[in-house]
A and B are shown apart, each in its own frame.
Chain A
Amino acid sequence: NAGVTQTPKFQVLKTGQSMTLQCAQDMNHEYMSWYRQDPGMGLRLIHYSVGAGITDQGEVPNGYNVSRSTTEDFPLRLLSAAPSQTSVYFCASSQTGTEVYNEQFFGPGTRLTVL
């Protein structure tokens, strides 16, 4: 049981490049989400999904796309990287997105630098 896995761990991009951050979970969780973590700002929700085929925007969705074709995978796509997207990105999952006491399980994060 690997939990939530993310790849890559580190990435450096040039402005304008695109890339996909991978996230997978093996706990059969319905709910998955992407956050970015910036110094002094806590975590901000980018996109989330309550099940395969269903995605929605969070607090800071601009410049990012997601899809959820399977329960296990929830990739995050940067369409045209900008320096403002330099951040640490965390993927998280929980059993369901409709109960207030659910624990979220986090991946180890991807540290992205955009030059």
Chain B
Amino acid sequence: GDSVTQMEGPVTLSEEAFLTINCTYTATGYPSLFWYVQYPGEGLQLLLKATKADDKGSNKGFEATYRKETTSFHLEKGSVQVSDSAVYFCALMSDSNYQLIWGAGTKLIIKP
């Protein structure tokens, strides 16, 4: 079945460092891909999404490109801030049953 694999955390970086959080997926058909973020003590909120191959989602300085050839949707940011500390979830939505399949989440810690 469909699945999402993302890098284990925690990932600890200094402020202004470059961020990459890897996400790869297995799916049949043409899924949509998402990154959600969960700040401490809060629910999840959508960070960005891409609905077809080669689409780039972007928001708040974060970017991710839907790469069908490598089945990947890596999250990147050029210069992280302390306020980016959160748990980041990669997810896909199958076009067959419209259910979200979630990665395990990656905790990001940014130190000043």
List residues of chain A with CB under 8 Å of any chain B CB.
4, 40-45, 48, 58, 90, 92, 97-109
Contact status of A42 and B44, CB under 8 A, knowing A99-B98, A100-B31, A100-B94: no
Chain B residues with Cβ under 8 A from A106's Cβ?
Answer: 43-45
List residues of chain B with CB under 8 Å of any chain A CB.
4, 30-32, 41-46, 49, 51, 89, 93-95, 98-100, 102-105
Chain A residues with Cβ under 8 A from B4's Cβ?
Answer: 42
Q: List 21 A-B contacts (CB under 8 A).
A: A40-B104, A41-B104, A42-B4, A42-B104, A43-B100, A45-B99, A45-B100, A97-B98, A99-B98, A100-B30, A100-B51, A100-B93, A100-B95, A101-B93, A102-B93, A103-B46, A104-B100, A106-B43, A106-B45, A107-B43, A109-B42
Prevailing SS type, chain A contact patch:
loop
Cα of A41 to Cα of B104 in the assembled complex, Å:
5
CB distance from A22 to the nearest CB of B (A): 15
Cα of A98 to Cα of B93 in the assembled complex, Å:
10
Prevailing SS type, chain B contact patch:
loop
CB distance from B88 to the nearest CB of A (A): 11
CB distance from B36 to the nearest CB of A (A): 8
Judge whether B46 and A100 touch: CB under 8 Å: no
Contact status of A58 and B98, CB under 8 A, knowing A41-B104, A101-B32: no
Judge whether A100 and B43 touch: CB under 8 Å: no
CB distance from B58 to the nearest CB of A (A): 15
Judge whether B44 and A90 touch: CB under 8 Å: yes
Given contacts A42-B105, A102-B93, 19 further A-B contacts (CB under 8 A): A41-B104, A42-B103, A42-B104, A43-B44, A43-B100, A43-B102, A45-B100, A58-B99, A90-B44, A100-B31, A100-B94, A100-B98, A101-B32, A104-B100, A105-B45, A106-B43, A106-B45, A109-B42, A109-B43
Judge whether B43 and A108 touch: CB under 8 Å: yes
Q: Which 7 A-B pairs have the closest CB atoms?
A: A106-B43, A42-B102, A100-B32, A43-B102, A101-B51, A106-B44, A42-B104
